[in-house]
Structures are given as C-alpha cells and as structure tokens.
Chain A
C-alpha cells in the first residue's frame, strides 16, 4: 500500500469527526488533527481504533501519543502495514 493510498484512506476515516470541514478541503500531511481539523480530543481514540480496523493493524497507546498531524497518522500506519 502506497503512502498516498494510506493518506486518502486516513482522510476518509477522519472526515466524520471533523468540525472544520473547510480545513479538510485543503488537508495535507502537515494538518494538525486536533487544532486544524477541530476534532474533539476524546474522539481521537475512536479514529485510531478505526485505523486499526481499516488497515488491520494494532496500535499501542504510546504509539498514538505521537499522532498529532495527518502525516503522523500516515507514518504510523505505514510502519505497521505489511508492505
């Protein structure tokens, strides 16, 4: 799975939780999930669990600490998805 494919899938997973839909239109890997997309911090856990389901991976709490931007999420998934 390419990084671009992971990125596209991540954006689709995040979409229902986003409060700032305008920011989603210009989303890139530097977009901060909580600050730019205005996702509720409590919902970030749901998002990461959705990543687990969608990519068939397992995420530890400490891995999730490093997820601030969309790019962080893509990087985390890319490291866990079998190439």
Chain B
C-alpha cells in the first residue's frame, strides 16, 4: 500500500477532527430528518444495533462496510440503522467514511462543505483514473488506521433494483486487497416499498437491514485478487438479497 503525502494525511486528520467536534451539530439534525420528517423506521433496530456494537467490540480492526445501493441516501440510512446518534458521537471512528458521487453531493460549495464535515470523500464515478485512484488510496490509509468506511458493492445504484452480481466495484476489492486484516461488513438494506432504484425512499418507509461479517480470501495475486475479493462480496450480498425476498414470501 502506497504512503500518502503528508499534506493529504494532514487534510484527512483535519477533516475527521472537525467532523468529530461538530458531530452533535449534524448527527442529531440528520436523525431528526430521517425519523420525524421522513418518518422512516428500521425493523428490529434495537437488536440490530446491539448486534453491530457487539461485533465492533469484538473486532477492533479496520472495517469496510460493503452495501447494496438503491437510493441516494442509503449511506445515511445505513449508518443510522447500525448505530444510535450518541454511539457515533462517542465512537466517532465507527461513523463510516463515505464516497458519494461528486456530481450529486459536492458540485456546489455548500454541499461540498457539508460532505466534508460529514466524513465524505467525493468521487467521480468513471472519472479520471488519478482522481478515483487518489480516493481509494485515501480510504486505504484511513482503514489502515482502524477507521471504518462504506462502499457500495456495485459501484452505483442498481438499475434493476436487485444486486447485480456481475458488476462488482473493483475499488472495493482493491481496498480489501491492500489493507491488512481489513474485514468486510456486508450490509443488505431495503425499504419495504422500494421496488427499484430511486432518489430517496418513500416517506414513511420501513427498512429491512441485515449484515454479515466476512473476510474474503483469494489464492490470486495483484489485480486478479482484488477482482476475486470484490466478486465474493457482491455474491454474498446477492445471497442476502435472496434471503430477504424468501423471507417476504
């Protein structure tokens, strides 16, 4: 894993610490919007958070959350589902770094500032290789320091509404390949009224969330290993989706 220039490392420390000290100012309003204004609910949320906290306590190392992707606010809902507001305030490194699409979340200065404070590193999907690679290297660095990050396993929102097992995000495998001891937390998230992909979930929707800890292994090396790891993650998410639909029948 390549070492980041000190300026980049310092910028990440500054971003994290500003976010940490202002966390009360933004975590609670976001949760208010989700719970009160949008009236979202998460099934079995208390049990889910208890399981998640226990898992994080047992595994102190780097965690890459690998999730399916159907709406533009999945990362927010997912973080809210896995941990309560105060838990994140006191366990700030477990608030996942997020990689939103630059054109959706960071194209104007106000949204760029909001993204910066809320632990986002915008990425231009399908953009210049240097930019994409730079973002991935920053995430690798953060994870190697024991932080948590979130990446969508298919790269973008699924256009079919189902996990697309044939299109794993290579960056996900690349991060797991480069960060020693990094585990993947596969998370499947879906609103009961979510039939296909959309901008935001329907108001009043109730979310099913399930997760599994997973450390993929591969006999390959180099880029092929990254691809293999990414394929294993997305295959696992596809299986979790099958279980979700089987449970609904």
Q: Which A positions have Cβ atoms within 8 angstroms of B?
A: 34, 40-42, 45, 48-49, 52, 58-65, 67-68
CA distance A7 to B203 in the complex (A): 55
CA distance A8 to B221 in the complex (A): 27
CA distance A43 to B222 in the complex (A): 17
Shortest distance in angstroms between A72's beta carbon and chain B's nearest beta carbon?
A: 10
Which residue of the partner chain, among A42, A49, A59, A65, contacts B129 with CB atoms under 8 Å? Answer: A65
Known: A41-B129, A42-B170, A68-B129; 10 extra A-B contacts, CB below 8 A, are A42-B155, A48-B223, A58-B224, A60-B222, A60-B223, A61-B178, A61-B223, A62-B2, A63-B223, A67-B129
Cβ of B104 under 8 Å from chain A: no
Q: Chain B 136-167 against A: per-residue CB contact (8 Å), 1 yes, 0 no? A: 00000000000000000001000000000001
* 12 sample A-B contacts, Cβ–Cβ < 8 Å, listed by A number: A41-B125, A42-B155, A45-B227, A48-B223, A52-B223, A58-B221, A58-B222, A59-B223, A60-B222, A61-B222, A64-B223, A67-B129
Is the Cβ of B126 less than 8 Å from the Cβ of A61? no
Is the Cβ of A41 less than 8 Å from the Cβ of B126? yes
By a CB distance below 8 angstroms, the chain A residues around B126 are 40-42
Is the Cβ of B170 less than 8 Å from the Cβ of A65? no
CA distance A40 to B2 in the complex (A): 26
Shortest distance in angstroms between A54's beta carbon and chain B's nearest beta carbon?
A: 14
Shortest distance in angstroms between A64's beta carbon and chain B's nearest beta carbon?
A: 6
CA distance A67 to B221 in the complex (A): 19
Is the Cβ of B133 less than 8 Å from the Cβ of A65? yes
CA distance A34 to B131 in the complex (A): 14
Which residue of the partner chain, among A41, A49, A61, contacts B177 with CB atoms under 8 Å? Answer: A61
CA distance A68 to B129 in the complex (A): 8
CA distance A41 to B129 in the complex (A): 9
By a CB distance below 8 angstroms, the chain B residues around A52 are 222-224
Residue of A nearest to B2 (CB): A62
Is the Cβ of B133 less than 8 Å from the Cβ of A45? no
Shortest Cβ-Cβ A-B pairs, 6 listed: A41-B126, A65-B133, A58-B222, A45-B170, A61-B174, A60-B222
Which residue of the partner chain, among A41, A45, A68, contacts B223 with CB atoms under 8 Å? Answer: A45
Cβ of B60 under 8 Å from chain A: no
CA distance A61 to B2 in the complex (A): 11
By a CB distance below 8 angstroms, the chain A residues around B223 are 45, 48-49, 52, 59-61, 63-64
